Structure 1
Amino acid sequence: MTLESELEIYRQRITTDSYPMSISEIANLYRDGEMDIHPEFQRIFRWSSAQRTKLVESILLGIPLPSIFVAQNEDGIWDVVDGVQRLSTIFQFMGILRDDNGDFIPSFVCAAGPFLKSLEGVSYEPSESSTASLTRAQQLDFKRARVDVKIIKRESDNRAKYDLFQRLNSYGSIATPQELRNCLLVSLSRTHFDWLQDLASSDDFLQVLNLPERLTHEQYHLELALRFISLRRLPEERISSIGNIGEFLSAEILPFVDKRHAELRQEKEAFDACFSALRSALDTDAMRKWNPRMERTEGAFSSTAFEVLALGLGHYVSERTFSVDEVRQARETLWKDDNFAPGHATGQRADQRMKRTIPYGRQLFSA
């Protein structure tokens, strides 16, 4: 296949448009609910006060801003693919930014800018927390500033949106890999994101994981829920060729958003049954290492325990019910095995470890 033929194929998969819009026009789209900047992700991409001040300063000075990328969803709403923090900063400065509960977020008050030192303490409109505000003329200049908006139209396929999102957000982000996957998932299918979020909020699941608060804050429980869905029935020949687990999970977003309601229902039934059984048998110790000699659990969350016990049980849970004794015996067998003694996976890449742990877990629960 020639370069020209490849270009022709790819160009047919993504339909775009581009035109400059004033900040006032973009703000109106946001107010009217025609643009979604996903307030649940504002924390992920949050800028410092200095970064936000620099953006406001650039707008006031007339410095061109980078393009905003949006994807038009099935309802015609613009989902922001790249530019969440720029738009969040602009809307917060103007006093129109809302959180995920629909409540207004307090307006942003500038610090001193790199060039405009007098910006310190300045807000868009007068407020109790500011010492000064923009004049009417300065407000109009701010609202009339133009931003180039690039639109990925809804007739574009999900693969094209996926590729674009990966390219735009793979460099310089402060988000965790799962936080970026969450953003990608929302841009492709809010329905599937909400489903995954509800799944990962299950009380049984969270109790079994017993994760430190930091990992939950970083959305690691959503990553583990996605791992469960993607890996529990994955053929063993594919397990041996997973490669980088983060890249594998990101690629699995596409087949995940293709799942129909009936498939999601089956996945949820398996998920709930698996973690209900683990909680009944092992509760908050399920994902910790078991010391057979001391007859007690040790340490924090263990990836080995998740891959052997959760994915092993999950592989068969749709076919049969496991008793408390069977689950407890499986854990004892795991940690008595010399191949899984403490330190066996130290420094080992996840894909190399999973070549052993996932098949072992399936064998353990196959009897």
Structure 2
Amino acid sequence: MNLEEEIEKYRRQIATDSYPMSIGELSNLYRDGEIDIHPEFQRIFRWEPSQKSRLIESVLLGIPLPSVFVAQNEKGIWDVVDGVQRMSTIFQFMGILKGEDGKLVDPLVCSDTPFLKQLEGCSYEPSENSTRNLTSTQRLDFKRARIDMKIIKRESDNQAKYDLFQRLNSFGSTATPQELRNCLLVSLSKEHYEWLGETSKYAPFLKTIDLPERLTKEKYHMELALRFIFLRNIDVAGLASVGNIGDFLTSELIKFVEWDDERLNQERGIFQKAFDILAAAGGPDVLRRYNPSLDRTEGPFSLTAFEALALGVGFAIPNTDVSAEEVQAQRSVLWSNTRFAAGHATGMRADQRMKSTIPFGRSLFTR
């Protein structure tokens, strides 16, 4: 296949449209629930008040804004893929933005801006928190300002939406990899995003991984849940093609959103049973490094222990009874093995480490 044939092949996989829309039209779509800016995203792609104010200043000055990319879902609703903060800021300024609880967010009052000095303290309409507001003429001009909309039509496949999301959001974002992954998952299937959120809140799981607050805020517990779900049953040959673990987890979301309720229930059952066992076997200690010679646990959460013990238990329990006592005994076997001595994984890529930890962990619990 030559370059031209490749271009034609991949162009056919994504159907797009493009046209400018006024802010007034977009605000009506938002009020009617026909455009979804995903309140879940607003905690992730958070702008400072100064950034929001500069955007409002740009609209009032007629400075063209970057295109907003939306994906049309199966119901015809537009999911914002790129442009969440631009849309959120505009709707907050107009006083129509809703938060995750469905309630209106306090209207935006602008701060100091580079050019329009009188915009400081200004709101869209009269507000008790502002010192001035736009005139009726200025509000009309604001609503008539146009934004270029790029629409990914619903006949485009999930792979095309995934590729676009990756390209638009992987550069210069302050979001963590799992936060970006969550945004992609919401736009592919909110049902599966909610399933992952609920599954990763399972108390014995959180107790056992025992992450610091910072990592929990960055949604690392959700990444660990995905690692368990996607790697628990991966065939050994497949481990060789994992490559970058972050890219692997993200790409697997395309398959994940095709899972039906039966598969989701089955996976949640295995997940919960595995961490019930691990919690009973020692909770946080079982996924930390163990020093057999001193008979004590050392250090924080260990990915080596997670890949060998947690994934080993997860692989075994659909067909084998695993007890908490067995996990405790096999933890000693794991850390007594010279392959997993302290510092063995220093500087090693995750996919290289997993080629030894995952098969070894399975051998501990498979009879």
Residue in 2 aligned with 1:270?
270
Residue in 2 aligned with 1:111?
111
SS at match of 2:301: coil
Q: Which moved more, 1:54-63 or 1:182-191?
A: 182-191
Measured in 2, the distance between the counterparts of 1:288 and 1:91 equals 47
Give the AA of the match of 2:174: I
Deviation, structure 1 residue 12: 2.3
Unaligned runs of 5+ in 1: none
- Residue pair 2:284, 2:301 contacting (<8 A) in 1 also: no
Deviation, structure 1 residue 27: 1.0
Unaligned runs of 5+ in 2: none
Residue in 2 aligned with 1:226?
226
Q: Which moved more, 1:333-342 or 1:203-212?
A: 333-342
Measured in 2, the distance between the counterparts of 1:325 and 1:252 equals 34
Pairing of 1:144-163 with structure 2 (within 5 A) = 144-163=144-163
After TM superposition, the runs of 4+ consecutive aligned structure 1 residues lying more than 4 A away are none
Residue in 2 aligned with 1:125?
125
Measured in 2, the distance between the counterparts of 1:52 and 1:324 equals 53
SS at match of 2:151: strand
Aligned-residue RMSD, C-alpha: 1.4
Deviations along 1:104-138, one digit per CA (max 9) or x if unpaired, are 11122111111112211111122222222111111
Pairing of 1:1-367 with structure 2 (within 5 A) = 1-367=1-367
Q: TM-score, normalised by structure 2?
A: 0.96
Measured in 1, the distance between the counterparts of 2:64 and 2:6 equals 33
Deviation, structure 1 residue 85: 0.7
Give the AA of the match of 1:362: R
Percentage identity across aligned positions? 62
Deviation, structure 1 residue 99: 1.1
Measured in 2, the distance between the counterparts of 1:359 and 1:365 equals 11
Give the AA of the match of 1:269: G
Q: Which moved more, 1:60-69 or 1:113-122?
A: 113-122
Deviations along 1:300-344, one digit per CA (max 9) or x if unpaired, are 211111111111111111112211210111112112223222222
Measured in 1, the distance between the counterparts of 2:336 and 2:3 equals 56
- Residue pair 2:286, 2:328 contacting (<8 A) in 1 also: no
Q: Which moved more, 1:343-352 or 1:302-311?
A: 343-352
Give the AA of the match of 2:341: A
Deviation, structure 1 residue 10: 2.0
SS at match of 1:344: coil
Deviation, structure 1 residue 262: 2.0
Deviation, structure 1 residue 54: 1.0
Measured in 2, the distance between the counterparts of 1:80 and 1:350 equals 32
Q: TM-score, normalised by structure 1?
A: 0.96
Q: How many residues align?
A: 367
Measured in 2, the distance between the counterparts of 1:56 and 1:175 equals 23
Measured in 2, the distance between the counterparts of 1:108 and 1:284 equals 44
